[in-house]
Each structure stands twice: as C-alpha cells, then as structure tokens.
Amino acid sequence: MVRTFLAIDLPNDVKEYLCKIQNSLKQAKADVKWVRTELMHLTVRFLGEISQDMLARVKDATEIATNGLDMFELKTSGLGVFPNLKRPRVVWVGLTGELRSLNILKQRIDNRLFEIGFEKEDRPFSPHLTLGRIKSNKNLSKLTQMIIEQGSIVTTQKPISFKVKELIVYKSLLSPKGPSYSVISRHSIG
C-alpha cells in the first residue's frame, strides 16, 4: 500500500514567502506544527493508502486528466484559518489568479478518479497553501490576533505569482519526525 496524493509543487520564491509569514506567526509561540519549507505544496486531491495496481491506474488517470490543459497562473492572497477564527485548526495562505483553470483541473482529476473507483469528494474544493496545523489552545488567542493583523498585511502586499506547469503524484511516508514526500510521477500541463 502506498499513501498517495496529487499536488502542485511551489517554486522556491513562493516557499520563501510562505516561510517569512510562518516566521512572523511563530512569534506567538502557539502550539502549531508548522509545515517544513521543502514540503510546501498545493494539494489537489488526497488519495490515502492505495495498492500498487491502483497507483498505476491513478498515474494513467492523471495523465489523461492533464492532457490538453493549458498552463495557468496562481497568486498568493491573504491569510486565514480552517474552519474559523473561533476554532482554528489549520493556518493557510489563500490563492487567486486563474482559479477557473485550477477548478477545471480539479474537476477533470475527480472525474477520472471516479471512473477508476474513487468516491466523489463531498466537500467543496478550497485551494490554499497550508502553513501549519494547530495542536492545542496554547497562546491561541495571540496567534489568532496575529493572523488577523498579518492577514491584512499579506492581502495588501504584492502577491507572489507562479505558473502551474505540472501535476505531481506524490508518495507520503509518515514517521515520528514528520512526513516525507517523494515524486511518483509528473504530468505536464500546457
């Protein structure tokens, strides 16, 4: 079994930008498991544990889904939390730009995955770049205050844009030190 997800890798300048935001928020000294810079990405679909046979079918489905799509551009935008500021669990940076193209990619992926046996996702796709996962209430009010303040700064700053040129099938290994990702296959867009 292989723990698998589909994602868009981020260029180094975007990762550095996200890292700066993380470093600023770390000053709250809240109990947050921050995403390591090298692991930052835009998740398109998490598949969980799948067999080697299904993995081959996922790679084929991803190739078909990305075939004929044009490269598109996304931009960082704002700072937020899931599910809300009263009960924050995930800290993220939002995205703008050619979201219609991203949604078309997502829809094509979901349709192909459904054809090979995956369930349709019941929650709406909410594209974001995860900065960290909140573990406890320690210094949480300070963190949420910083998120509100930083959010307006991030929103008014010049966004960092990046071109989406490929979708990657990743393998995720979990360990006590945290996850590590390796590329299974790359699928060109544009």
From residue 101, alpha-carbon distances to 30, 74, 110, 156 in Å are 36, 9, 14, 24
Give the active site residue among 128, 162, 170, 172: 128
Q: What angle do CA 34, 83, 109 make, to 5 degrees?
A: 80
Residue 41 annotated in active site: yes
List of residues 6+ apart from 164 with CB closer than 8 A? 8, 71, 72, 73, 74, 101, 102, 105, 189
- Dig out the tokens for 6 from the structure: 């589909």
Distance, CA of 130 to CA of 19 (rounded, Å) = 11
Task: Please count the helices (runs of H) and the strands (runs of E) in the chain.
Answer: 4, 9
Q: Pick the catalytic residue: 15, 41, 112, 187?
A: 41
- What SS3 class is residue 172? strand
Residues taking part in catalysis? 41, 128
